[in-house]
Amino acid sequence: MKFKSLFLAMFLIAPLGLKAQEIALQLYSLRNEMKVDPVKYHQMISDWGISALEGGGGYGMSDAEYSKLLKDNNLRIVGVGADYNRLKSDPEGIIADAKKHGAKYATCYWIPHTEGPISMEDIKAATELFNKTGAMLAKEGITLTYHPHGYEFANSGSGTPMDYMLENAKNFQFNMDVFWVKMGGGDPLAIMKKYPGKFPQLHLKDRKKGTNGSADGHGDVETNVVLGTGDIDIAGLIQEAKKQGTKYLVIEDESSRSVEQIPQSVAFIQSQLKK
């Protein structure tokens, strides 16, 4: 009887566990601090209760040294970068980078284009490249994701470049940076609801109230504020992430206050995940 009860409990809990969200950190948030003392700041990340990282660099250490630093602090790299031009010329190298860390995600953060909003021609070329290389990465157990940067939201009359990419993504998914989507004039929560299942990662980054938008992918990083205190519906995004089974809620704080703000943002996410 006890065995049956235990089995039933495991059966009921397992599906919930599969959809659990994990808080992660994009190491770019501590780009300046890591130049000074990477050992100290990796320890600090662990103290904040974070174990999943987006990164892939070694801060001047050998692979063995950096692997030991991660292990000593119960940290792991879950996502690496996938530079656009490298996707064109050396996708095998990106696969190798991901495998070196055991990462299951590789994210392209920028599509090279003429300054300002991106053209549909550039978006179509990028979508074709991401579908092609995404299939290659998928064969190796790695998901290619694209990180919008706000220049993808100029309305062409038949939707935006971002709509085109979302509707034609066959072999890749999205690591949506909600700050940059908002900066570009998009509504991150509405997009997530319109295209469910395409967002295994979210870059959660809140924006200071009263900040003006930007259509070129650039803006003042000092407008990054503690999650839940800005003008982006971070709470709503977290609840939608729970519904959709988004795997990683990635904190990226590009401001000079990141060390002070990140633990507060961790606490906010944790409070929302409990709801």
As a whole-number percent, the residues of the chain with pLDDT over 70 amount to 92
Q: What pLDDT is attached to residue 56?
A: 86
d(CA 265, CA 34): 20
- pLDDT bracket for residue 20 (50, 70, 90): confident
Q: Could you tell me the two tokens for 128? A: 């074709």
Mean pLDDT of the region 9-16? 40
Residue-wise pLDDT tens digits, 92-106: 999 999 999 999 999
- Please state the pTM of the whole predicted model: 0.92
Q: Which residues contact 107 (CB under 8 A, 6 or more apart)?
A: 54, 79, 80, 81, 82, 144, 145, 146, 147, 175, 201
Note the pLDDT of residue 156: 67
21-273 to CATH, choices 3.40.190.10, 3.30.70.120, 3.20.20.70, 3.20.20.150: 3.20.20.150
Cβ atoms within 10 Å of 4's Cβ, excluding its own: 8
Residue keyed to tokens 């993808």? 152
